Each structure stands twice: as structure tokens, then as C-alpha cells.
A and B are shown apart, each in its own frame.
Chain A
């Protein structure tokens, strides 16, 4: 009896010592700045537990949100920006000497947060290191033919292709870091406390936990008129806390434990009024995502090969509005898709809004199904989706639409890992619901990502081998004229190899002290682009 008591006491003691060890609060640093004023602080939510602060780190949720906050690039972008609209960051100016070559001049007073001076050689180093890191899109890297320093503060950059938007991508998506610092730092310093060329640096880093960013005092760009929006410093301290559960994020917002958070489509209604406006006390930001597309498998064994009528039948059977609502995107925020793409992309022709795009017509669908050679009830198709709840709900609507015209549909949802594997396996799916991104805000880029036969082993992303399609694609992406773009759009629409379903939307909810959330060139809501109310104060009590 005594011994058992001892054992319990020992355990309790052990436990208490562990807990005592973590008694101290993380953010103990002073809440008051040097000039005695209260610090402007914000707490936002990181939806995953990984984050790597290194300049050449891999992609993670928080990383996408904050990479240009911590690391500088040559230029800063915003959605749809063209070359002359780009904002100077490390680079002062850019001049195209021919279709693919640019001459770039840097500011000569750039330093990182550790005081290292940045010059053209550091830029070249950064581009080369990014290329070998394995963490950057090979497409992006593949579009850079060469980069060389032509002087201490001048560079010549050559793109590998003439596609519109390529140069913009190249100069806004590679982080710049000091070669001297990078080579001298060890792995943990690079990840947890890097020397940064952007306006914010990492104050504290808890692996898998809270990351605290603070503004860089004496940021190198002292000339306010030349400062890019993304280099602004509206806040002193930015806390990123980890909340992996969707419902927990909602609770954290309502409990005033965070100021801003990403909110799942299924939960956002809690912050909206019936008419779609933000409820009292809240600000809701809806970011149009890339459109969800329906791909038809075009490989040899697929029912869709050489069967235009079948593809069109399905296209007419689908009620896009219902699918959109099923996907959690309410009226007023979302729009119906009228091409493989959406209206926010550069090159979109508003003419297409007036035209029929397989508008819901179940009678026509049944006709076409018969013409395609199938009896109602005869076909059973497998559709593959990610496990995102909005998408699976949308898929369920499609399923119901199809069953109305006599086509059975099975939905298989996979996590990202499995999905990426099956994507390239033509035996795993008949149809696929997937959103293909455009990396430079242009519609031709989205089309290239989905259809460029040069990038896939077999035809397009959905195994379609069509030389005419490829010709039109290349023409549209290189010429970028209304004619060439229309040509591709109409051919693709007729063939219905892929049809646009709906635009998914990403939501953020914030306390109303955050009046607006600006977006960078990749539609990420970077905190430096927040517009705060004059009397903004964090709701989080310490």
C-alpha cells in the first residue's frame, strides 16, 4: 500500500516538474515600444503545424502567407499586374531589351536585417540556390534561361519562353538573400531565425507551434515613395498561432483568442448576415480561388475517348449554380464559370459571359447521351476529388444531376498525397474535379498548366492527345491576342475535354479593426497588405 502510494507520488511529481517547466508564457516581451506607445499587434492563425523560415524553404500554409513579408524579391506584384505595373522592391527598374531579355537595376543601399549588404551577386546566388533547393516549381525554374550580374547593381535576366506573364513571374517569385549570411548560417538558423531582406523578421520560433514576427527596425528602404505595398509595416508584431481544426478556428475567433483566421466554407456563415455581408463586429474577406474544373479522361480505354457527345451530355446535365451553392459559395460572392478559367484572370474575354456555356439543360443532356450510344442507367463513372469538404459536397450535387439523366457516378475522395499519385494514372478515374492554378494571373498560364503536352507524358493533364488543341494553346500563350485566346477557348468549349464547374472561394474572417486584406500576386493575403482601422487594437488579451 505504501509502495503504491510512493509510485503515484513519484508520477505526480514527475508530471508537475514537466508542467512547471513550461509555465513561462511565450510572448513575455514588452507590449510597449521604445517610444512608450502601445505596440500594434495582431494574432492570426496558421492552419498547419509546419513552417520553415528559410529563404529557400518548401511550401506550407503559413509560408505562402508570409514569404514575401520576410523575404524580399526583385519586384512586388498584385493580382493581374503586368510588367510595368510591378512595384520596386530590391530592384529599382526593369527594361525589356528584347522579347525574352530584361535589364534590371537594383537599389544600391539594400541591406538585410543582419546588416549584410545585398548586391547583384547575391541576387544571382539566390536564383541559383533556389534552382537547386528542390522546393521551387520546376516550371518556374524552367522558364529562367539565364541570370547574370552585369555590374554591382545591375543584372541581365533571360526567360526561356515568350509566354506572356513569364517575366513577371520570374522577378516576383524568387526570394533574395545574402550569400555571405546564407553560406555562414547553419540549418537551424536558416529555418528559425534567418537574416531577412523583407520588412518582418522572426522574433520567436516554436517548432509546430507559435511563430512570432516583428517588424524590422531600420528597414533598408527609407524612401517611402519608392516602397512597395508589400514592404509596408502596418503592425509591430504579428503572432501566428497554430489551430489545425476548422471548428477550433471558429471558436478561437468567437472567443477573441485570435484576430484573423482562415475559415472553412462550411463555417463562414457564422460570420455573415443573411444577405452575405459581414456580421456585426466582423470583417469577411472572400478570395476567389482558381475555378474547380471537371476533367474527362481522354486516354485509350476511357469511355470519353472520341465521344464528344458523351462529354457534352454530362456538361449539359450539370447545374453549375447548384454545384456552386453545394460547394459552399453563396450568391453574390461566387460567380458561375464560363470557361476553363475565371474572370479575374488576365486575358479573359467578357464576351464569353454572354454566351451559352453548357447551361443547365437536362433534356438536351438526355438527347446527347442517347446519341453517344448509351441507355439511361447503363453508365457508371468514377469521379476523383480531394477530401476538401466543399469539393466533395459539390461533387455530390454533380452526382445527383447526373443520376437525373441516367448516369451513375461514384465519388472517390483522396488526400493530397494519394490524389497526386492517381492524377497521373489513367486507370484510376473517369472524371476528376480539380483546380488548376495560374501562376502569373493570366488565363493562358492556367491553360498551359492543364493542357501543355510538352509537360505531360501523355497528351494533356487528362491524357487527351489533340494536335490542334496544342497548336492553339501555344499560339494563345505566346501571342496573347484576343483572337488566339478566343480560338483556344471556343475549340476547347466545343470539344469539352474539360469544363469549368465553379469558382471556389477562400474565406478569412477578422475582427472589424481589420478593414481590408490586400492580396499579393498569387492571391495570398499577406499581413503587410492589411488595412487597419485608425483605432485598431488586438482583441487578444495577454
Chain B
């Protein structure tokens, strides 16, 4: 199992390299550059070109790419922001916790609220309660997260004055962002959980469990749910990607200084190093997260664990094969 995990961690490196090259190339070909933005109003084209050349922005593609990758790989240096001259890695590090706070609290909320709703809907399938909760969750996926955020602010911040409307100073500031960010994924998880559970509840081993005299509650939570978890975990993983991305919008609305807003500002001012660095950071987070999800699978389903162990051992016979 450990071997499998190590292999996966090592695999992250070429993934990040590929992401780095892709985003660099994309930014290279997108029109606009940081110097024109900064000085566009007050300088002639010639002058702008001169400054660009002095900053190395007119060098050929391969030269610039090589320079960027070289710094990245050998010095672990993501460059500096054209605007602020501060090292990108330092700025990312200081903003990363904020984005993670939103994303993590969103995913916890998603699981804590979404899964029980789904389980309940599955148990009470086709009753009014089930239909109601599925309708509400449909609304949740359909309504835009941005709009919900503003509604929440109007209600909880302006009218009730329970929470501040923007900023990121203490935990209070993260409540509304976490809620608004999670609404879509809570809905998605609830639906997925319901579907998974419905499938599992009809399984034979659930009947066996009942036949053993296991109390209904334990049948649902102890026998059915663990088996339903695989697709649920998959959706949670995909959700996290959505939550991480959604966190960007949420950060904008609530003025939380995180990677999302850093990325947005960087895009608007074509601050290449900022955009590249942020994308790499997000890609790395995602890759690590996917690994965690895959490891979680192994804990939930021993069949998958066996697969991993096998692939980790690479060809060595699994001694405990069937007779």
C-alpha cells in the first residue's frame, strides 16, 4: 500500500510539469502583456516594446519557456510578480490558507449535510419527503453560487447582522463564504448518495443482514452505507475540484485574499508569473487531493485495496488467491 502511495506521489511531478508548460504556452499566446497594461495609457508603442525587451518579454518562446522551467525545476522559483516585484511563491503561500479554509470547510459541510440528506431520501424513497429534498437539491445545483452568496449576505449580514459581509480576519468571516460555496455540491452529493444508497439497499447482502436480525438502523448505516460510499467518495472528490474552483468566485464576492483572487488579478493584468504559479498551485492541490481520495477508497473497499497492493508489488503473486 505504501508503495502504491509513493508511486502516486512521484507521478505528480510529470503532471505538474505538463500543466506548467500548458499554462505557460497559453499565456504566451493570449494577447496583452503586463507592460502594456501598466503603461498603456501613457506610453507609445515603441516605449512599451523597449521595456518589454528589457524585461525579457520579447524573447522567443523556447527561450522564455526554458527560462521559466529552469527556474521552476532547479531553483523551485516561480518568479516574481511584474506588478509587485514580490516572489510569487511567497504571495501564494500567504494566500493559500484562505482558499483552503473555504474549500475545506465547504467539503466538510457538503459531507455533513449532503450525505445524511441523501441517506434519508433513499430510505424514504418516493415519499413526499424524498421528493421534496430532491427538489430542493435540484434548486441547489441550478441556482448560481454567486447569486446565492449575495442573497446570504443580504439576509445574514445586512438584515440580521450576524456575520460580516466581506473580509477574512477571523472564522466569522468564513461562515457565509463556506455556506454559499457548498450549496451546489451539497445538492450534488445528496442526489448521488440517494442514488447509490437506493442501489445498495436492494442488494442481497442487505437482505442477509436483515435476515440476521440486525436492527434497521445498523443495516442502513453499517451495511449499506459503506458499500454506497465508493461512488459517493468519487463525487466528493470531483466536488472538491468544483469547490476549489468555486472558491475563486466566492473569494471575489467576499473579498477574501486567496489564490482565486490572486489568479484573477493576475489574468487581468497579464501578470504571467502570477497566473502560472497560481495554476500550478491549484493543480498540485488537486493532484494531492485525488491521491487522498484514492487512498480513501482503499480503506472503504478492501477489493480496491487489494488492487492497489497488487499494482504496488508489480507482478509479485498475491498469495491469498482463491482456491
Tell me the A residues contacting B by CB distance below 8 Å.
1, 3-4, 7-8, 11-12, 14-15, 18-19, 21-26, 48-52, 54, 57-60, 134-135, 137-140, 142, 187-188, 191, 206-210, 241-245, 247-248, 251-252, 254-255, 257, 415-424, 436-437, 439, 449, 455-457
In the complex the two chains form, what is the Cα distance from A288 to B43 in whole Å?
Answer: 23
- The reply to whether A437 and B41 form a contact with Cβ atoms under 8 Å apart is yes
From residue B130, how far is it (CB to closest CB) to chain A in Å?
24
Selecting from B82-90, B280-288, B309-317, the interface stretch reads B82-90
| Contact A15 B105, CB 8 Å, known A191-B85, A252-B165 | yes
- The reply to whether A7 and B268 form a contact with Cβ atoms under 8 Å apart is no
25 A–B pairs (Cβ distance < 8 Å), ordered by A: A3-B299, A4-B299, A18-B100, A18-B101, A19-B171, A22-B170, A26-B169, A52-B84, A57-B85, A58-B82, A134-B35, A138-B39, A139-B42, A187-B86, A188-B86, A245-B252, A248-B165, A248-B253, A251-B165, A255-B158, A257-B165, A417-B269, A418-B31, A420-B36, A457-B46
Selecting from B7-15, B91-99, B180-188, B198-206, the interface stretch reads B91-99
- The reply to whether A439 and B296 form a contact with Cβ atoms under 8 Å apart is no
- The reply to whether B38 and A58 form a contact with Cβ atoms under 8 Å apart is yes
In the complex the two chains form, what is the Cα distance from A268 to B268 in whole Å?
Answer: 25
- Which partner residue on chain B sits nearest A251 by CB separation? B165
Chain A residues near B174 (CB, 8 Å)?
19
Q: Is B132 positioned at the interface, with any CB of A under 8 Å from its CB?
A: no
| Contact A417 B31, CB 8 Å, known A207-B86, A244-B261, A257-B165 | yes
Complex partner residue of A244 from B51, B94, B252, CB under 8 angstroms: B252
In the complex the two chains form, what is the Cα distance from A49 to B167 in whole Å?
Answer: 12
Complex partner residue of A138 from B44, B97, B105, CB under 8 angstroms: B44
Chain B residues near A191 (CB, 8 Å)?
84-86
From residue A410, how far is it (CB to closest CB) to chain B in Å?
19
Chain B residues near A18 (CB, 8 Å)?
97, 100-101, 104
Chain A residues near B169 (CB, 8 Å)?
22, 25-26
- The reply to whether B42 and A140 form a contact with Cβ atoms under 8 Å apart is yes
Say what secondary structure dominates the interface of chain B: helix
Complex partner residue of B164 from A23, A54, A210, A257, CB under 8 angstroms: A257
In the complex the two chains form, what is the Cα distance from A229 to B38 in whole Å?
Answer: 29
- The reply to whether B229 and A4 form a contact with Cβ atoms under 8 Å apart is yes
Chain B residues near A457 (CB, 8 Å)?
44-46
Chain A residues near B131 (CB, 8 Å)?
none
Beyond the given A187-B80, A206-B257, please list 18 additional residue pairs across the A-B interface where CB-CB is below 8 A.
Answer: A8-B111, A15-B104, A15-B105, A15-B108, A18-B100, A52-B84, A138-B47, A142-B47, A187-B85, A207-B90, A207-B94, A208-B261, A244-B261, A251-B157, A254-B158, A255-B158, A417-B37, A419-B40
Find residues 162-196 in chain B having any chain A CB closer than 8 Å to their own CB.
164-171, 174
Complex partner residue of A418 from B32, B51, B54, B166, CB under 8 angstroms: B32
In the complex the two chains form, what is the Cα distance from A449 to B42 in whole Å?
Answer: 8
Chain B residues near A139 (CB, 8 Å)?
42-44, 47
In the complex the two chains form, what is the Cα distance from A244 to B264 in whole Å?
Answer: 11
Chain B residues near A142 (CB, 8 Å)?
47
Chain A residues near B65 (CB, 8 Å)?
none
Chain A residues near B43 (CB, 8 Å)?
137-139
Chain B residues near A248 (CB, 8 Å)?
153, 165-166, 253-255
Tell me the B residues contacting A by CB distance below 8 Å.
31-33, 35-48, 51, 54-55, 80, 82-87, 90-91, 94-95, 97, 100-101, 104-105, 107-108, 111, 150, 153-154, 157-158, 161, 164-171, 174, 221-222, 225-226, 229, 252-255, 257-258, 261-262, 265, 268-270, 296, 299-300
- Which partner residue on chain B sits nearest A247 by CB separation? B150
| Contact A50 B38, CB 8 Å, known A23-B170, A57-B84 | no
In the complex the two chains form, what is the Cα distance from A79 to B314 in whole Å?
Answer: 76
| Contact A207 B95, CB 8 Å, known A1-B226, A7-B296, A15-B105 | yes
- The reply to whether A49 and B261 form a contact with Cβ atoms under 8 Å apart is yes
Chain A residues near B255 (CB, 8 Å)?
241-245, 248
From residue A461, how far is it (CB to closest CB) to chain B in Å?
10
In the complex the two chains form, what is the Cα distance from A8 to B42 in whole Å?
Answer: 55
In the complex the two chains form, what is the Cα distance from A279 to B242 in whole Å?
Answer: 42
- The reply to whether A209 and B108 form a contact with Cβ atoms under 8 Å apart is no
Chain B residues near A455 (CB, 8 Å)?
44
| Contact A420 B32, CB 8 Å, known A4-B226, A22-B97, A241-B167 | yes
Chain B residues near A48 (CB, 8 Å)?
265
- The reply to whether B32 and A417 form a contact with Cβ atoms under 8 Å apart is yes
| Contact A415 B42, CB 8 Å, known A14-B104, A207-B86 | no
In the complex the two chains form, what is the Cα distance from A243 to B167 in whole Å?
Answer: 8
- The reply to whether A437 and B45 form a contact with Cβ atoms under 8 Å apart is no
Chain A residues near B262 (CB, 8 Å)?
49, 208
Chain A residues near B46 (CB, 8 Å)?
457
| Contact A59 B171, CB 8 Å, known A15-B104, A415-B268 | no
| Contact A1 B265, CB 8 Å, known A18-B104, A248-B166, A417-B36 | no
Complex partner residue of B45 from A11, A49, A424, CB under 8 angstroms: A424
Which of A59, A142, A207, A419: most chain B CB closer than 10 A? A207
